[in-house]
Amino acid sequence: MEEILKYLIVEDDEIDRISVETAAEKFPFLKRIASCSHPLDAVELIRTCQPDILFLDIEMPGINGLQLARRLKSDHLLLVFITSHAEFAVDGYELEAFDYLLKPFSTERFTRLALRLRDFSLLRQKAFAFERGQEAETLVVKQGYEKHRIQLRDILYLEAMKDYTRIIVPGKQYLVLATLSSMQEQLPAGRFIRIHRSYIVNPDKITGIGGNKVSLPGHELPVGKIYKHAISGIL
């Protein structure tokens, strides 16, 4: 049975609240427990209802969404900022937001978010530790007595998910309890490149570059503005 993820919406604009609710109701694993228009009302709702996900607007009366997020102390709560202003993205990532949606968001964009939330929740329940393998070209991920040896050449990309990193190889994924930055420090210099705050890719797996995106087998990833130089000259 699929795990149900409870969510709370904090958004002062009624139309925008309805937009999130309408997008989320298409996914049976997402369950709305409450919506509110003022960030201070959210504090008590978070305490009593204990949502898994917080959809949080940034520009609101009283205190804004960033200020509210700084007040919250929860390793479990997944923050998803929703705003019209791209310039707040850096602040959002510094607060370890799970994602950052720009209004108006498309159905496709929300679908990607919803599926990432589901995958992360499922993987988090059985997250692995990791270590560099004794062989130079491997990573070892382990959970109890279970170990998996990953060849570096097989890795498509790594994705930041709060305090975790998702490792994607063809047909499989692993979630390890390590930040993306700490993982990057463990990888051989020059073998992987950072293309976004949330993504490190294996350049050997890139099949196409267009606009602000790179293509890998079965995947398309965004390229952050400050990382564009990293992909120049790859193809």
What average pLDDT does the segment 178-186 reach? 88
**3: closest CA among 120, 90, 111?**
120
Q: Are 218 and 230 in contact (CB under 8 A)?
A: no
Cis omega before residue 51 (within 30°)?
no
Q: Are 169 and 156 in contact (CB under 8 A)?
A: yes
What average pLDDT does the segment 101-105 reach? 89
Q: Give the E-state strand segments of the chain in sequence order.
A: 5-10, 30-36, 53-57, 78-83, 99-102, 129-132, 138-143, 146-151, 157-161, 164-169, 172-176, 193-196, 199-201, 208-210, 213-216, 219-222
CB count in 10 Å sphere of residue 210: 9
- The secondary structure of residue 128, as a DSSP letter, is B
Per-residue pLDDT band for 193 (boundaries 50, 70, 90) equals very high
pLDDT tens column, 110-121: 999 999 999 888
Using the predicted structure, report yes or no on whether residue 95 has a pLDDT greater than 70: no
Average pLDDT, the chain: 86
The structural domains of the chain, with segments of one domain joined by +, span 5-124, 129-231
**198: closest CA among 166, 170, 172?**
166
**CATH, domain 129-231, list 3.30.413.10, 3.90.480.20, 2.40.50.1020, 1.10.150.530:** 2.40.50.1020
User: Helix 14-24 vs helix 107-124: angle between axes, to the nearest 10 degrees?
Assistant: 60
Q: Are 163 and 109 in contact (CB under 8 A)?
A: no
**What is the share, in percent, of the chain residues with pLDDT greater than 70?**
89
What does the pLDDT read at residue 125?
A: 76
Q: Is the dihedral of CA 155, 75, 53, 39 positive or negative?
A: negative
Tokens at residue 123, please? Answer: 């993987």
Q: Which CATH number is 5-124 given?
A: 3.40.50.2300
What does the pLDDT read at residue 208?
A: 93
Q: 36 pairs with which residues across the strands? A: 10
Task: Give 126 or 89, the one with higher predicted confidence.
Answer: 126
Using the predicted structure, report yes or no on whether residue 91 has a pLDDT greater than 60: no
